[in-house]
Amino acid sequence: MEINSGNELKTPLYDIHIASGGKMVPFAGHLLPVRYESGIIAEHNAVRTAAGSFDVSHMGEIILDGTGAFDTIQNVLTNDFTGLADGGMRYSPMCNNEGGVIDDVIVYRFSADKYMIVVNASNKDKDYAWISSHLSDGTECRDLSPLTAQIALQGPESEVILRAAAGSEADLPVKAYTFTDGVVVAGIECLVSASGYTGEAGYEIYMPPEGVAVVWNALIDSGRDFGLIPCGLGARDTLRLEASMPLYGHELNEDITPFEASLGRYVKMDKPDFIGKGALEGKTEPERIRVGIEVTDKGIAREDCQVFSGDVVIGKTTSGTMCPYIGKAVAMAIIDREFADPGTQLEIDVRGRKLKAVTVKMPFYKKEK
C-alpha cells in the first residue's frame, strides 16, 4: 500500500469515482482511481477495442502569452516550433543546462503569441518555476492548472461517442495533434485535442473544473452503447507502456538525456540555441539508450531490475508489466548501446531469478491504420 500523506487533492470527479467503484490511490499529489470494478485488464482492452474515459485533471497547464512567448518556447524546449500552425500541437522534452530532462511536455499553439504547455502533474511546480525563470522579454507566464480539469477519451469509438455527446455538427479536431477550442460538450465549453497517451485514437478534453462532472457523465452515458468504461491510472500505465511511450520518473529524469531516452527526433540540434544544447553537443549517439524488451521466460520484469548480457550488467529496466492486449510481459530499459539491436538475447534479474529476454523494436503495440 502506498503511503497516503493525507494532503492529496481531490479532483472535481472524486465523488463520481467513489460512486463508480473507483479504488483510489495517491498519485502526484492527487487522489485518483487506479482502477474501477471491471479491473485493469478489462479497462485496458476496452481502450484497444472500444473506448475508455480517464480523469487526468491532475495534469498541469501553463500558459505563455505575449510577443516573447514563441522565443521562450524555442529556448526552453528542445523541439522546433517554427511552422507549428494555430490549432497545432507538438511534443517536446524540456532540458536543464546539463541536457537532462526536466519534463516532457506538449505545446498547444493558439496564436503566434499564445501557447499552452501541458506538463506532468508530478513536475508542474518545478516546470512553472523553471519556465518562469527563463522567460524571454515580453512574455507572461501563468499556471492555469487549478482552473483546468481534463478528461482523456481514448479508443476507436471515441469519435462517435464524443459526437453523440457534443452533437453531430460539433467542430472536432480531425488530424492527430491538432485541437479545437470552444467545442460545446453537454453545454460546457471545452478545448478538444486529437491526442492521448494510449496509442489509440482519441481526444483530450480540457474544461473548467466546475464543468467536468457534466462532461464526464455525458461521455459515460453516450458511450455506454459503444462499450466505453471508465479507466484508472493502472490501465493508463499499461496502455502507454504497451505503446512504448516514456513516462517521466521512469524512462525520463534529470540525469537522462533525450538521446538516451530514444527521443532524439524531438531534439533539434540545428536550432540556433536552446537550454541544454551545449551540453548535448557530441552526445547525439549516446553510450546507453532506451530499448524495448520482451520477457521470453515466464514472469514479469518491473522497473529497476538489472539487465544482464551473460554475467555483465548492461543496464536496468525503467518500466515493465504484463501488457494485457498483446498478452506479453514487456519492459523498457536503458542499456549499453551495443546490446540495443532488436533480437539481442539478454537476461533480467527479477527478484533473484534471471529471466530470459530479447530486445525488440518499439512500439510493442501499434494500432492498425
Partner 1 sequence: MNNGMMFTKTHEWVRKEGEGVVLAGLSAHAVTEMGDLVFINLPQVGTKVTAGETMADVESVKAVSDVYSPVSGVVAEVNESLADAPEKINEAPYASWIAKIESVEIPEGLMTEEEYEEYLKDI
If phi > 0 it is left, if psi is from -120 to 50 it is alpha, else beta; for residue 202 that is left
Give the nearest distance from C-beta 302 to partner 1 in angstroms. Answer: 7
220 binds partner 1 (CB under 8 A): no
Q: According to CB under 8 A, which one of 234, 246, 258, 315 is a site residue for partner 1?
A: 234
Q: What single string gives the DSSP state of each residue in 110-144?
A: EETTEEEEEE-GGGHHHHHHHHHTTPPTT-EEEE-
In this structure, the chain runs to a length of 369
Give the nearest distance from C-beta 230 to partner 1 in angstroms. Answer: 15
> Which among 37-45, 52-60, 150-158, 265-273 is the span making contact with partner 1, rule CB under 8 A?
37-45
Q: According to CB under 8 A, which one of 92, 198, 317, 321 is a site residue for partner 1?
A: 321
> Which among 10-18, 166-174, 245-253, 320-328 is the span making contact with partner 1, rule CB under 8 A?
320-328
33 binds partner 1 (CB under 8 A): no
What is the CB-side half-sphere exposure of residue 103 using CA atoms within 13 A?
21
322 binds partner 1 (CB under 8 A): yes
Count of other CB atoms within 10 angstroms of residue 177: 16
238 binds partner 1 (CB under 8 A): yes
Give the nearest distance from C-beta 173 to partner 1 in angstroms. Answer: 31
Task: Kindly report the backbone phi and psi dihedral angles of residue 218, in degrees, each rounded to the nearest multiple of 5, phi listed first.
Answer: -65, -40
Size of the site for partner 1 (CB under 8 A): 20
What distance lies between CA 120 and its chain's CA centroid?
Answer: 8
Cβ(243)–Cβ(198) under 8 Å? Answer: yes
Q: Which three cell numbers stand for residue 173?
A: 479536431
324 binds partner 1 (CB under 8 A): yes
Q: Which three cell numbers stand for residue 295?
A: 520477457
Give the angle 141-142-143 at the CA atoms, nearest 5°: 130
DSSP-assigned beta bridge partners for residue 180: 192
47 binds partner 1 (CB under 8 A): no
34 binds partner 1 (CB under 8 A): yes
Dihedral sign from CA coordinates of 203, 206, 211, 212: positive
Q: What single string gives the DSSP state of each residue in 14-48?
A: HHHHHHTT-EEEEETTEEEEEE-TT-HHHHHHHHH
Binding mask 275-314 for partner 1 (x = CB under 8 A): -----------------------xxx-x------------
Dihedral sign from CA coordinates of 268, 256, 88, 73: negative
Give the nearest distance from C-beta 38 to partner 1 in angstroms. Answer: 10
- Between 38 and 193, name the residue whose CB sits nearer to partner 1: 38
Task: Kindly report the backbone phi and psi dihedral angles of residue 140, in degrees, each rounded to the nearest multiple of 5, phi listed first.
Answer: -110, 135
244 binds partner 1 (CB under 8 A): no
- Between 224 and 353, name the residue whose CB sits nearer to partner 1: 353
- Between 40 and 89, name the residue whose CB sits nearer to partner 1: 40
99 binds partner 1 (CB under 8 A): no
39 binds partner 1 (CB under 8 A): yes
Q: Which helix (H) or strand (E) holds 77?
A: none
74 binds partner 1 (CB under 8 A): no
- Between 170 and 300, name the residue whose CB sits nearer to partner 1: 300
> Which residues form the interface with partner 1 (CB under 8 A)?
23, 34-35, 39-41, 44, 234, 237-238, 298-300, 302, 321-322, 324, 329, 351, 353
